[in-house]
Each structure stands twice: as structure tokens, then as C-alpha cells.
């Protein structure tokens, strides 16, 4: 819960190095992330401070533990694709 408080402070998004790649992923049906709204708030905050490389993916039908859901293979593919893209740049 402390992390949720910290990432919702303006100081947090301004403290993230602008060139550090950030990948936000979550289950679209996760109440902890307010059903995707919380993830997009973090995404919007990082973009507001002109962060250069922020990506976001929400997985429909998934809740909190997206790496343990039925579609976990798809989630892993998205993560690998994102990592590969970061390493290429």
C-alpha cells in the first residue's frame, strides 16, 4: 500500500529519469488498479512530466496476478516483446 501512495505523489513521477523505459501492465479486471484507471493515471502522470518512453497494456479478463492467469503465455509474450524493443533501441 505504501507504493500506491508513493506513485500517486507528483514527486514520484518527476523523480523517474525521463529516459528510463517504463512498462505498466495490469489486469483490466483488477480492483487494486481500479480496473485499469489507476494504471492510466500513472501513465498520464509520467507523460505530463514529459517522460520519453512509457508503455501500457491492460489484459482483459485478468485480475491482480496477471502472470498466473489463464492467458499468462500471452502476458509473457507482451513482456518479452517490450523488453526486446527496449534492448533494440
Helix (H) / strand (E) element for 1: namely: none
Question: For the whole model, what pTM was predicted?
Answer: 0.83
Helix (H) / strand (E) element for 21: namely: none
Give pLDDT tens digits for 22-81.
Answer: 999 999 999 988 999 999 988 998 999 899 999 999 999 999 899 999 999 999 999 999
Return the closest-CA partner of residue 65 out of 22, 41, 24, 32.
32
Amino acid at each position: 500500500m505504501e507504493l500506491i501512495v508513493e506513485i500517486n505523489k507528483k514527486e514520484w513521477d518527476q523523480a523517474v529519469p525521463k529516459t528510463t523505459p517504463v512498462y505498466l501492465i495490469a489486469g483490466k479486471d483488477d480492483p487494486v488498479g481500479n480496473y485499469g484507471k489507476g494504471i492510466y493515471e500513472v501513465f498520464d502522470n509520467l507523460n505530463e512530466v514529459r517522460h520519453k518512453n512509457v508503455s501500457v497494456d491492460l489484459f482483459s479478463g485478468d485480475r491482480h496476478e496477471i502472470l498466473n492467469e489463464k492467458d499468462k503465455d500471452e502476458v509473457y509474450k507482451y513482456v518479452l516483446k517490450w523488453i526486446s524493443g527496449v534492448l533494440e533501441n
